[in-house]
């Protein structure tokens, strides 16, 4: 399985979107500062994820969320309570 995920920084409230084949390992890497793009935002909480059987589908979804504002906006509205807590 492949996962598209959203992390929220407890420190600044910003979100990070990524994809991986091992969600638990990746979350640990983010929170231990091993990932340059999120090392200054720790600690991070996993607020949302989607599972895909295809690597290509997960990669396309991640790109869509990162580049299409309407797509991310719709998802943010759908998971509003998760992002606020």
pLDDT in tens, 54-80: 999 999 999 999 998 888 899 999 999
CATH code assigned at 51 = 3.40.1440
Is the pLDDT at 18 greater than 90? The verdict is: yes
Span 39-50, mean pLDDT? 94
End-to-end CA distance of the chain: 27
Q: Please, which pLDDT band fits residue 42 given cuts at 50, 70 and 90?
A: very high
Structural domain count, the chain: 1
Put simply, whether the predicted model's pTM sits higher than 0.75 gets the answer yes
d(CA 57, CA 32): 28
- 9: domain range? 2-84
d(CA 39, CA 71): 26
In percent, the amount of the chain with pLDDT more than 90 equals: 81
Counting beta carbons within 10 angstroms of the beta carbon of residue 80, is it exposed (0 to 12), middle (13 to 18) or buried (19 or more)?
Answer: exposed
């Amino acid at each position: 399985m492949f996962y598209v995920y959203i992390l929220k920084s407890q420190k600044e409230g910003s979100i990070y979107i990524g994809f991986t084949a091992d969600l638990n390992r990746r979350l640990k890497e983010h929170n231990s500062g091993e990932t340059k793009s999120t090392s200054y935002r720790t600690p991070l909480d996993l607020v949302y994820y989607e599972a895909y059987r295809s690597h290509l589908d997960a990669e396309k979804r991640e790109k869509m969320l990162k580049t299409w504002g309407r797509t991310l906006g719709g998802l943010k509205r759908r998971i509003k309570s998760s992002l606020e807590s």
